[in-house]
Structure 1
Amino acid sequence: MAEEKKLFKVTIDNITVDVEPGTTILNAARLIGGEVAPPAMCYYSKLKGSGGKCRTCLVEVAAGSTADPRPMPKLVASCRTTVMDGMIVKNITSERVIDARNGVVEFLLLNHPLDCPVCDQAGECHLQDLSYEHGKEGTRYEFNRRTFKKHDLGEYIQLHMTRCILCYRCVFTADQLTNKREHGVLDRGDHSEIATFIEKSLHNDFIGNVIDVCPVGALTDKTFRFKNRVWFTKPMDAHRDCPKCSGEVQLWMRGEEVYRVTARKDEWGEVKDTTDGKPGWICNECRFEKKEARDWVIEGPSHIDRHSVISQGHYEKLVTPKDTLPEVMGGRPPKLIMDIHDVSEVNRPEIKLSEIEGPAHSDDFNQ
């Protein structure tokens, strides 16, 4: 018989969960879900080495373990701290954590432009969510904000470095998904910036994934810029036979028009694995060049987990309002005073305008 793995019990915000040894506090909290899971701006479970930079996931360890129940003196980054058996963690139940998170958000917004009304990331921006939950009404920063010129990183990607929070996700993505990374972090301190060497373009079949991992609007899709707002579009799951990637994507449609194509994402804003368990990264051809509905097999509406404006107009499980007229009339159907199809000299009697596909045409009426 296979030997059973010993599981660690960890209590987060008074909720106990069993996890495998080596699990980080953040991933243990994600098993519980909801507000118990700390926010993360730099950690990305699909990228090795990510995490430990933004400090938004700080938590308080009230008891280290059953063997050593002493609390940790300082707040720790939950994305880099592994659990111990009997560990007790406070996230939203700790005033120290909430105060520290408010301070981190204030630091992230020191140089970040408040251009949400014109930013393509608005509506699905993690920093926007953090600002709503932990931001302050005003800023105490009295100096000029750091600004950079916009750069086109090739044919499809634009870098707006002024919005960047240096989470390093795009660097890890290019390093681990592409054959040759051509961009990284240049300079030091407050002069640090994501840039290419001597302003090169980024050319690789999978480089478009840096757009999906960016938590703010620093890296944007040039084929979608300023064309629509995400809450006006309908995300649909779709797939196609692609020799380069899985071909499982999310189409952002308005009517029959495909405005953009992205990888499918989970409730934490990370790229989902495919149906056969492989990484869900998509290639540039699927992302940028297949912008027609006929290019895809549309499976149906996407399920939106994140608490964003996109989920406010959720249409995945549409409930049709109950028709109360027969109930009021004691079960009898309403009587028609006249049938418009018989008496109208405009409508053709054999055509019911409510049942035709698409808009009515001149051929549908008597001329």
Structure 2
Amino acid sequence: MSTIILGIESSCDDTSAAVIKDGFLLSNVVANQAVHESYGGVVPELASRAHQQNIVPVVHEALKRAGVSKEELSAVAFTRGPGLMGSLLVGVSFAKGFARSLGVPMIDVNHLVGHVLAHFIKAEGDENKHPSLPFLCLLVSGGNSQIILVKSHSQMEIIGQTIDDAAGEAIDKCSKVMGLGYPGGPIIDKLARQGNPEAFKFNKPHIQGYDYSFSGLKTSFLYSLKDWIKEDLNFIENNINDLAASLEKTVVDILMDKLKKAAKAYGIKDVAVAGGVSANTGLRNAFLDHAKRFGWNVFIPKFAYTTDNAAMIAMSGYLKYQDNDFATIDMPAYSRVSLK
């Protein structure tokens, strides 16, 4: 008998639902929220309201595209946290009610674990290669920068993480300083492709071990801009591409330096990247370069699996279903938590 999992993701500002059958993805639907663009960031209250409007049609569309009826579902997986509490409550409450109405198990998923396990999503017609255990995963997003030792789908260890700002957060803030739009990541990526990454130098932190720090880079970028603008009021406009390329290179260098050290220390050749910043072209190119230089087997997710999506939640739910690892009705959403 087939195992069919419905996954629901609502941790931030994207409402998503996906269906996985016997490990293969049948559908992955995402509803974005453009309302936040004019505010320069996600507004939690607006996000939760939009989730309430989107969740029923998104789930309906995911089931429709998968060609699956709700009665065929084996379980409902949902993002329990971390994330925005208001957004999470919409998805968690819907998942609990939906699962109870169908009489099927509920499976709670850690959002960060979901990003890591996105590498195990399979789809018809794809190569469907995935890392061999154990492997290292660099998880980089607007809220997280972590190096994770993945021993199994249920056993992961954070061996390095940011002590202040995340990489994506630093990029967004530097983008905002330059007067660019939100989110800053895709904008910086596009501009960087036309710039010289060696044009400007910014401070890199000296943190022991495998931890990261990006607050110093953000400060260095801000004060450097102030000095340059004193000499040329149009400095940003005249150097926008080079600034973007130099900023991107600095962030990527910081990320890859620690990851390279960790891979050597742990003797691991299978190295993966996950999270929203893994969509960045410079970071993807760096992974391919390190594969050639150090003999890594690198795993880079499809763009559809980099940002918040329910496919990774459904995949995580599918793996937990195999272990009979189910949630109880009294499990609350949580806004902050590490891997577990």
TM-score by length of 1: 0.23
**Rg bigger for which structure?**
1
Structure with the larger RCO, 1 or 2 (CA within 8 Å, 6+ apart): 2
Looking at secondary structure, tell me which structure has more helix per residue: 2
